[in-house]
């Protein structure tokens, strides 16, 4: 038995300190990509007229080592994806504790999540609380997006199971209609499909499309709708068949999306794992690709002590988001990787010791010459709370 398995008190304390810090702020905070919420920037015509200005303003605040958001009049807000991750953490706590207090916390977060839904579509969806400018497209605040929708659906499916609540399942099922009817599709062959990031774009982002497939698969597992799994399998094939020779996946299909990073790879592996559990025949079809991807990811994105690299070919930056997503993905991959739990434990303990502030929150990044201590709520706190919650849940399962 590993030392990390014997000593979970460090993780329990870290979780409690983080949870207290987040609750004190009602789970509201800043985000690496919220710069366009700046009242100063919105007072200029650049928000509506200049793609270059939007992109430059966003990247400046994301990359600058100090947090200038108060000066730029960027409010601290709740982020729907962050709320979904906090709800998933609370559901882990409920499964671990089975107390009324834990249930109340989870249901409160789920209520906030449902209140943030977007309804004027074919099905329920969720978006971000800021205007977002990427290289591929621009999405105004509240644009329905597959990534926050997928994590919202994951939380709602888990809640439906734990609380036997049909309303949660109905909301998750409705998100499938958003995926099938509102997202744009690139149908490469008769047995493949790629979903867009939002109804506004036609991008082919591998992890995002696979999150759509995961949502369909996991809802199907509860509702027993075989056609949802058939759609999910088509989505999974599209991504699996574009795995590179070394086992990695690029971020997307376009030339400027050719990089691979830690947390997007974790998303791909996490989704494949969940699809294989949910859909008949999926394991036989995707297990080899998932194992190859897991081997590349483990061998290239982590050091022996649990240090989580952002990119496979450099040590810095070290990012709390990468650590949190890796822990969750490794716990999902335990059935196919005997060393997954041990590595997840190492990452969790390393992150607590090197990225958590004494006040409870997690730093954004450690860079080669300095640490960026900005306490981003969705990016760092929500992912680490989800990760630590899942880790503690697994620790308890090992003891009993």
CA distances from 158 to 87, 92, 357 (A): 10, 10, 30
Residue 157: give its domain's CATH number: 1.50.10.20
Query: Which pLDDT value is given to residue 7?
Result: 57
Is the same domain home to 135 and 263?
Answer: yes
Residues 202 and 298 in one domain: yes
Cβ contacts of 292 within 8 Å, gap of 6 or more: 243, 247
Whether 8 shows a pLDDT value over 80: the answer reads no
State pLDDT tens for residues 45-67: 988 789 999 999 999 999 999 99
Shared domain for 233 and 327, answered yes or no, is yes
Which of 50, 76, 102 is the last residue in one of the domains?
Answer: 76
Is residue 38 packed enough to be buried (19+ CB in 10 Å), middle (13-18) or exposed (0-12)? buried
296-343 pLDDT, tens digit per residue, is: 999 999 999 999 999 999 999 999 999 999 999 999 999 999 999 999
Q: Quick one: 45 and 163 in the same domain?
A: no
Number of domains in the chain: 2
Whether residues 219 and 326 share a domain: the answer is yes
Instruction: Report whether 195 contacts 184 (CB < 8 A).
Output: yes
Higher pLDDT, 178 or 7: 178
The answer on 257 and 121 residing in a single domain is yes
Do 201 and 283 belong to one domain? yes
pLDDT for position 47: 82
Domain boundary among 76, 104, 139: 76
What average pLDDT does this structure show over 385-392? 97
Residue 6 burial (10 A CB sphere; 0-12, 13-18, 19+): exposed
Q: What value does the mean pLDDT take over residues 204-225?
A: 97
Name beta bridge partners: 372.
365
The residue-averaged pLDDT of 179-198 equals 93
Q: Please tell me whether residues 50 and 96 are part of one structural domain.
A: no
Give the residue, 220 or 120, on which the prediction is more confident. Answer: 220
Residue 2's pLDDT band, with cuts at 50, 70 and 90, is very low
Span 185-189, average pLDDT: 83
Question: Are 61 and 152 contained in the same domain?
Answer: no
pLDDT value for 317: 97
Alpha helices in 32-183 (DSSP H): 39-42, 46-49, 51-63, 80-97, 100-115, 146-163, 166-181
Predicted local distance difference test score (pLDDT) of residue 103: 97
Q: In which domain, by residue range, is 61 found?
A: 35-76
Backbone angles phi, psi at 19, to 5 degrees: -60, -40
Is there a single domain that holds both residue 64 and residue 207?
no
Same domain, 108 and 128: yes
pLDDT digits (tens, 9 = 90+) for 28-40: 999 999 999 999 9
On whether both 59 and 130 belong to a single domain, the answer is: no
């Amino acid at each position: 038995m590993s030392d990390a398995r014997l000593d979970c008190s460090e993780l329990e304390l870290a979780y409690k300190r983080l949870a207290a810090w987040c609750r004190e702020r009602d789970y509201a905070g800043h985000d690496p990509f919220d710069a366009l919420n700046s009242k100063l920037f919105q007072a200029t015509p650049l928000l509506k007229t200049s793609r270059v200005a939007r992109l430059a303003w966003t990247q400046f605040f994301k990359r600058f080592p100090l947090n200038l958001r108060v000066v730029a009049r960027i409010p601290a807000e709740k982020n729907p994806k962050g709320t979904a991750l906090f709800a998933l953490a609370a559901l882990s706590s409920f499964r671990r504790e089975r107390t009324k207090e834990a249930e109340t916390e989870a249901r409160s977060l789920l209520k906030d999540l449902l209140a943030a839904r977007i309804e004027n579509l074919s099905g329920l969806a969720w978006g971000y609380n800021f205007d977002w400018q990427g290289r591929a497209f621009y999405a105004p605040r509240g644009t329905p997006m597959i990534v926050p929708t997928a994590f919202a659906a994951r939380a709602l499916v888990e809640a439906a199971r734990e609380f036997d609540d049909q309303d949660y399942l109905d909301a998750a099922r409705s998100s499938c209609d958003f995926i099938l009817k509102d997202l744009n599709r690139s149908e490469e062959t008769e047995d493949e499909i790629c979903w867009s990031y939002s109804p506004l774009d036609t991008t082919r982002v591998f992890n995002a499309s696979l999150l759509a497939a995961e949502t369909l698969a996991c809802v199907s597992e509860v509702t027993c709708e075989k056609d949802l799994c058939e759609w999910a399998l088509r989505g999974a094939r599209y991504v699996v068949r574009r795995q590179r020779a070394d086992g990695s996946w690029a971020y997307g299909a376009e030339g400027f999306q050719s990089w691979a990073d830690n947390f997007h790879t974790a998303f791909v592996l996490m989704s494949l794992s969940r699809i294989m559990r949910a859909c008949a025949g999926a394991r036989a079809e995707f297990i080899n690709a998932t194992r190859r991807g897991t081997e590349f990811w483990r061998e290239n994105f982590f050091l022996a002590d649990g240090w989580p690299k952002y990119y496979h070919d450099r040590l810095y930056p070290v990012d709390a988001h990468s650590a949190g997503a890796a822990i969750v993905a490794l716990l999902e991959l335990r059935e196919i990787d005997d060393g997954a739990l041990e590595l997840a434990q190492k990452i969790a303990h390393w992150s607590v010791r090197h990225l958590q502030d004494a006040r409870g929150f997690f730093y954004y990044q450690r860079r080669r010459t300095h640490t960026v201590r900005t306490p981003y709520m969705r990016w760092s706190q929500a992912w680490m709370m989800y990760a630590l919650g899942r880790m503690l849940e697994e620790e308890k399962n090992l003891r009993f």
